[in-house]
Structure 1
Amino acid sequence: MQHVRTIDREDGPAALDVAGVSHFYGRKQALENVSFSVRPASFTVLLGLNGAGKTTLFSLTNHLYDTRHGTIRVFGHDINRESGEALRRMGVVFQARTLDLDLSVRQNLAYHARLHGIGGQEEARRTAAALEIVEMSDRVDDKARNLSGGQMRRVEIARALLHSPALMLLDEPTVGLDIRSRAGILKTIRGLVKSRGLAVLWATHLIDEVDDGDDAVVLRQGEVAARGRVRDIVEASGCGSIGEAFALLNRAETAETTS
C-alpha cells in the first residue's frame, strides 16, 4: 500500500517532529528511518502490533535512549541537544504502571510537581485541577494500591498534566482495562485536545480507539507503513475501514517475512 499524506507542519513548529529515526538493540534493528509529525492541538494515533516499535519510539522521544540516527524535536527543541526544554513541554503516561503504591494520590502528584519546581499553594492548586479533569478528586487521600487499574491510569494522566505540557505521549494507556474504563480515559484525552489545545500521540494496537478524523501513523516491523488522516489511509488501501486496512498491512508483513 502506498504512503498517503504526511502529517506535516502548518504554522510554526510541529508539536513533535520525528525525522529519519532508526534505532538498534545491538545488531537488531528496532526502527528504520521513521519520519512523521504531530500537529499542535491534534490527536495522532501511533498504531502497530506488539513488537512494531511503538515503545522504542516513545523511549527515544522521552530521551530514555539517545537518538543516534535521525532527529526528534518537540516544538522545535531537539531532544538530544535541548532535552530540558523539550521534556518541559511533554507529559508522558507509560504503558507500565508507575505510581508508588504506598503513597497516596496526593503524595504521588506532589513528588512529580516538585521535580518540576512546583510547590506550595501552586502545587495544591494544580493537583486539585488535574484530579478534577480525570474525575479523581474524591480519592486524593487514598493510597494508590487501593485504586482500580483504570483509576491508577487516571491518576497517572493527572500527574502528567501537572506541569502544563503542550504535548502528551501515552503508550498503550488502556491495556488491561475494561471497556468502560478504556472509553472514559479516551474521552478525557480527546476532550483535552479540544479544550486545551493539547497535542497527543496515542500509541495502541486497538482499532476501536481510532476515529476516522484522527491523524495516524501505522508502524510495521519498525517502519512507517502508512501515515496521514485515517480516512485517507483507508481510501488509499482500497479497504472499507481502518481495521481492514490495518489487517491488510500486517498481512503484507507476514507475506514479506515468509517469502
Structure 2
Amino acid sequence: MAPTVEIRNLTFTYPGIDGKPPPGAPPLIEDVCFSLEAGQRCLLVGSNGAGKTTILKILGGKHMVDPSMVRVLGRSAFHDTALTSSGDLCYLGGEWRRDVAFAGYQVNIQMDISAEKMLFGVTGVDPQRRDELIKILDVDLTWRMHKASDGQRRRVQICMGLLKPFKVLLLDEITVDLDVLARANLLTYLKKECAEQGATIIYATHIFDGLDDWPTHIVYVAHGKLQLALPLEKRTVERWLRKERDEDRRKRKERKEKGLPAFDKVIEGSRVVNNGWAAGRLTSTIAGEENFSFSSNSVLR
C-alpha cells in the first residue's frame, strides 16, 4: 500500500531576510524520514522547541521545501494547492486566526457572530456529519464568538475544521482547551474516522491521558531528530522526555563549568527571530532590506 504521508530526508531551517537559511545556522529539522499509511494514527511528541509544529506546518503546506522531501497523498504538500482546497489535507493549529485588511495578519477570531451561523454557513456539508460533530463537541449554537470562552471557541473551531471528510488530518495541540469529556469524545470520533474512512491522523500533544490505545504509531522529536516506535507506551514517552531533559541539563552544567554561556549564542547576522516583516506592511522594517525573495529551503549543503 502506498503511504499517504511520506517524509524523505527532510532538512529545514527558517529563512533569514533574504529568503535563504543564514550561513552557519544549524537546521531545526535535519534528515528526517518517516511514512504513514491510510488508517494509521500517529502521535507526535517531544519537548518544547523540538520542531513538532514546524513538521506539521511543513506537512500542511505552510512552509516551502523541496517537493521530493514531503509527499502527502503522493503530491507536494506546498506546491499542490488542491490538497488543502479540496479538504483532503486538513490542518488544525493551536491558534484560530484570520487576515483582516488594514488590521494585519493573524488576527484572533473575535467577531460578534453566532456558532450556528458559522457552522451552518459552510456549504457542501453532510447535515448528518455536522449534527454528529455538534453533539460530540457539545456545541451550543447560541454561543457568540466574541463572548465565548477559549474552550467554547476551540470547540467551534474543531467542529468547523472537521465538517468535511478528510484523508489526512494534522492536529497541533488542538485539544488543549477542551475538558476531559469533550477531548475523549473527539478522540473516539477521530479513531472511528481512521477505521471507517481510512483517514491518516498526526496528532501533536503534551497531554497523554487517555491515549494508551489511541495511536498506532509514535514519532518522537528530539533536537531535530526523529525516532519511530510502535506501539505507543506512555511510560516509554515519559522516559524519552526525561532522558532528553537530563541530557540538556548535563550539557548546560558542563558549559557553565567551562565558563561558557549555558546556551549556544545566536549566530551573528542570522536575523532568524526577526526577519523585518511586520503585519500589514509590504516592505521590510529593517533599513536597507527592500528586496526579499522566498526560498525553496531545499537540502542544505
Return the TM-score normalized by structure 2: 0.65
> What is the distance in 2 between the residues matched to 1:94 and 1:167?
14
Hey, what does 2:150 align to over in structure 1?
A: 149
> What CA distance in whole angstroms lies between the structure 1 residues aligned with 2:179 and 2:250?
33
> 2:39·2:200 contact (CA, 8 Å) conserved in 1?
yes
Q: CA deviation digits over 1:164-199, x for unaligned, max 9?
A: 211111001122444444334333322332343321
Partner of 1:90: 89
Q: Which of the two has greater helix per residue?
A: 1
Could you say if the C-alpha distance between residues 107 and 69 of structure 1 is closer, same or farther in structure 2, counting changes exceeding 3 Å? same
Give the paired residue count.
231
Matched AA of 1:18? I
> Is 2:15 aligned against 1:17?
no
Amino acid corresponding to residue 16 of structure 1 in structure 2: V
Between the aligned residues of both structures, percent identity stands at 22
Q: Which amino acid aligns with 1:100?
A: I
8 Å Cα contact 1:167-1:199 kept in structure 2: yes
- 1:246 is matched with which residue: 234, 237, 241? 241
- CA root-mean-square deviation: 3.0
Equivalences for 1:140-219 in 2 at 5 Å?
A: 140-208=141-209, 210-211=211-212, 214-219=216-221
Which AA in structure 2 matches 1:108? M
Give the match for residue 49 of structure 2. 51
The amino acid across from 2:6 in the alignment is: D
1:31 aligns with 2:29: yes
The SS at the match of 1:242 is: helix
| Alignment-mate amino acid for residue 203 of structure 1 | A
CA offsets per residue over residues 131-156 of structure 1, 9 Å max, x none?
42242576234322344433333322
Distance 2:211 2:138 in 1: 29
Distance 1:77 1:69 in 2: 8
Contact map agreement 1:14 1:39 (CA 8 A) in 2:
yes
Q: What residue number does 1:77 align with?
A: 75
Contact 1:52 1:219 in 2 (8 A): yes
**TM-fit CA distance, 1:17:** 1.0
Distance in 2 separating the partners of 1:15 and 1:154: 27
Deviates more, 1:71-80 or 1:20-29: 20-29
| Secondary structure class of the residue paired with 1:206 | coil
Rounded Cα–Cα distance in structure 2 between residues aligned with 1:210 and 1:253 = 27
Q: Give, in angstroms, the shift of residue 94 of structure 1.
A: 0.7
Question: Is 2:224 the counterpart of 1:222?
Answer: yes
The secondary structure found in structure 1 opposite 2:78 is coil
**Residues 46 and 201 in structure 1, CA contact (< 8 A), matched pair in contact too:** yes
Q: Which has the larger radius of gyration?
A: 2
Distance 1:195 1:46 in 2: 22
Q: CA deviation at 1:255?
A: 4.2
| Structure 2 portions without partners, runs of 5+ | 17-21, 98-107, 255-301
Partner Cα separation in structure 2 for residue 146 and residue 108 of structure 1: 15
**What is aligned with 1:104?**
114
For the structure 1 residues 131 and 36, does the alpha-carbon distance in structure 2 shift closer, same or farther, using more than 3 Å as the test? farther
Q: Residues 75 and 86 of structure 1 are in contact (CA less than 8 Å); yes or no, is this contact kept in structure 2? A: no
Residue 129 (structure 1) aligns with: 129
Alpha carbons 1:54, 1:203 under 8 Å: kept: yes
**Distance 1:15-1:257 versus aligned 2 partners, 3 A rule:** farther
Bigger mean CA offset, 62-71 vs 131-140: 131-140
Q: Secondary structure at the match of 2:13?
A: strand
In structure 2, how many angstroms separate the alpha carbons of the residues matched to 1:255 and 1:134? Answer: 48
Unaligned runs of 5+ in 1: 1-10, 114-118
Q: Give the TM-score normalised by structure 1.
A: 0.74
Contact 2:216 2:231 in 1 (8 A): yes
Whether the aligned pair in 1 keeps the contact of 2:68 and 2:76 (CA below 8 Å) is: no
Shift of 1:215: 0.3
